Structure 1
Amino acid sequence: MKAIRYHEVGAPEVLRLEEVPEPIPAPGEVRIRVRAAGVNFADTERRRGLYDARVPLPRILGSEAAGVVDAVGPGVSTAWVGRRVVALASASYAEQVIAPEHELLELPERVSFEEGAGLLVQGLTAWHIVHTMGQLSAGQSVLIHAAAGGVGLLAIQLAKSVGARVLGTVSSEAKGRLARELGADEVLLYGDGDLTERVLARTGGRGVDLVLDSVGASTWKSSLESLAPFGHLVAYGNASGAPPPLEVEALYAKSVKVSAYWLRTPHPPELNRRAREALRTEVAEGRLQVRLGLVLELAQAAEAHRQLEGRGTVGKVVLRVP
């Protein structure tokens, strides 16, 4: 089969389309004929050796795939064969990928493979930072950084669905229009004045109940300062670099809390099931949109990385597998 591999860390050019052996499903696993693979910022950090760097090279990137089950391992029902699915699956920049049976989520017919490829990594992250971590509720307010990104656009919709007021930060007017289209009440451009002052001005000086921050170093100070009393900052990424060490003394004045979320943390099975089913239902019934910002062919993985790193994308970046 064909797959995108890299043999050394470096720039996007290290990604190569190569012939590799077809994977064989082991007990409890299925093989998916990939039709679309999700591309995430973490993939670019892996390629550069900045994250998850202990995996031996050469390596096939990717962590989520949508496609059709074409083989099952021992102990797995053959009823899966031929079914449209999406799964968290390593090495998904490929024509075929292996996934544990328990990771499979059947894809509704009205949802495209490309949309499905954006449903799990970013969809589950958005669901958990809004619900599990943020516990956002009606009448509260939330500041979402990188609001036009894949997680950001989903988080906007999930926050609005519970009746929250949403403020989002973006890097351009075009991204701001997209964030507003999907429900953001206020959109703030980076570099357009002091961010904390603008958040406070739009919340009557109180601040927001929840901040969702995937940016890290460049937004950390304003994220903390923008919290209302008893507010909560959830960190789930460091796109601009790691934030400075946290000074606990700085939290006392407003009794705020800081936490972090990582999708790879083992989740209780019931919570895992509930989140996945909620996402599938919301997307199938049209209440949640996976916005595709860039769809390229598998062989164009390097270009997908270039555009993602250059902050030139909105929504979900996907590789289509012919």
Structure 2
Amino acid sequence: MGRCYQGPMKAIRYHAVGGPEVLRLEDVEDPTPGPGEVRIRVKAAGVNFADTERRRGHYDAAVPLPRILGSEAAGIVDQVGPGVDSRWVGRRVVAMAPRSYAELMTAPADELLELPDHVSFEEGAGLLVQGLTAWHLIHTSARLERGQKVLIHAAAGGVGLLTIQLAKQLGATVLGTVSNEAKAQLAKEAGADEVFLYGGARSVADWVRDITGGAGVEVVMDSVGASTWASSLESLAPFGHLISFGSASGEPPPVSVESLYAKSIKVSAYWLRTQHPEALQRRARQALGELLSSGSLKVKLGLVVDLSEAAKAHRDLETRETVGKVVLRVP
């Protein structure tokens, strides 16, 4: 039956910024849902690279400590706040909200996504942050079209694998970059047409030119940053678009407008925490939910460990030893 939620819950917190070792499993007061909110008994929580940056103090550094990490989870609604339909209680849901590395979390009721019985909590926990990022990269930022070519760096990561699937559904040609053969196989299984394996003598840009007959790609999606930036710009076709949505290898160099003129290319950024129009975000959530439910979109689970092993999850994610989605299972 699980524990009775009458006292302090277990949660992962950190009291000072630092390495994965600062993460502690502690007793924390149970949250209470406010107006328009529900409380969720968490079954699985998603782990994202941004969580490691927060822990290191590189992101959201002004948030007071100690802090519970996390931004998405799947579980069962066990309580509703004022103004929320009580019929939510007992439903399996996915939510994107802070402080999800815990046995209990609260989330806005109008942003919940119901999770079908045939989809696991672990898969659900891996959907929203990376899935919404992938969806908006393709539909909102790139406005990718059938027949276009897109280069996706870190193609075997959580966002990468989802972006490949969504791009292929649109009829795009997908090129990906990875660091080893196992990751290359995963990218191909997700639908990538061609995959570049780092470590050889050839550069990414030369490879892209060979694949595209010298034309380049219309879109590059880059979450790596410093180490891939130059090759991303070189890989673009005239009037191409480079979208930055992360900096796993470090912040990319400043963009010189003069350097963009020769090919009339553009550079932009995407961040999931930007205020999105409600109707657009609702449409994106609904689309992802339908694709996951139908089996048309698959969340590739990489590392799945118990909540108490959050430090290991962070360590493996930072050293790029993981593929797909990293998830914390909550007993």
Match of residue 240, structure 1, among 232, 244, 249: 249
Q: Which residue of 2 aligns with 1:91?
A: 99
Deviations 1:223-268 (A, max 9, x none): 0110001111111000011100000111111111111110011111
Q: Which residue of 1 aligns with 2:124?
A: 116
Deviations 1:288-309 (A, max 9, x none): 1000001000000000001001
* Contact 1:208–1:227 (Cα < 8 Å) also in 2: yes
Q: Which residue of 2 aligns with 1:282?
A: 291
* Contact 1:5–1:59 (Cα < 8 Å) also in 2: yes
TM-score by length of 2: 0.96
Q: Which residue of 2 aligns with 1:78?
A: 86
Q: Which residue of 2 aligns with 1:271?
A: 280
Q: Which residue of 2 aligns with 1:255?
A: 264
Deviations 1:58-85 (A, max 9, x none): 0000000100000011111101111111
Match of residue 239, structure 2, among 206, 230, 237: 230
Q: Which residue of 2 aligns with 1:320?
A: 329
Match of residue 299, structure 1, among 281, 290, 308: 308
Matched residue type, 2:315: R
1:185 correspondence with 2:185: no
Distance 1:275 1:116 in 2: 15
Matched residue type, 1:191: G
Matched residue type, 1:163: G
After superposition, residues 44-193 of structure 1 pair within 5 angstroms as 44-192=52-200, 193=202
Deviations 1:117-164 (A, max 9, x none): 011000000000011111111110000000000000000000000000
How far 1:116 sits from its partner (Å)? 0.4
Distance 1:201 1:109 in 2: 46
Distance 1:191 1:121 in 2: 30
Q: Give the unaligned 5+ runs of structure 2.
A: 1-8
* Contact 1:108–1:280 (Cα < 8 Å) also in 2: no
1:194 correspondence with 2:203: yes
Cα RMSD of the aligned pairs, angstroms, is 0.7
Distance 1:65 1:103 in 2: 13
Q: Which residue of 2 aligns with 1:23?
A: 31
Distance 1:284 1:68 in 2: 17
Distance 2:146 2:314 in 1: 37
Matched residue type, 2:317: L
Distance 2:24 2:111 in 1: 28
Q: Which residue of 1 aligns with 2:6?
A: none
How far 1:108 sits from its partner (Å)? 1.6
Matched residue type, 2:193: D
Matched residue type, 2:238: P
Matched residue type, 2:84: V
Matched residue type, 1:239: A
Distance 1:161 1:93 in 2: 33
How far 1:190 sits from its partner (Å)? 2.1
Match of residue 14, structure 1, among 22, 28, 53: 22
Q: State percent identity of aligned pairs.
A: 72
Deviations 1:185-233 (A, max 9, x none): 1000123221111111110001001000000000001101100011111
Distance 1:118 1:200 in 2: 34
Runs of 4+ aligned residues of structure 1 deviating over 6 Å after TM superposition are none
Matched residue type, 1:162: L
TM-score by length of 1: 0.99
Q: Which residue of 1 aligns with 2:216?
A: 207
* Contact 1:144–1:169 (Cα < 8 Å) also in 2: yes
* Contact 1:160–1:183 (Cα < 8 Å) also in 2: yes
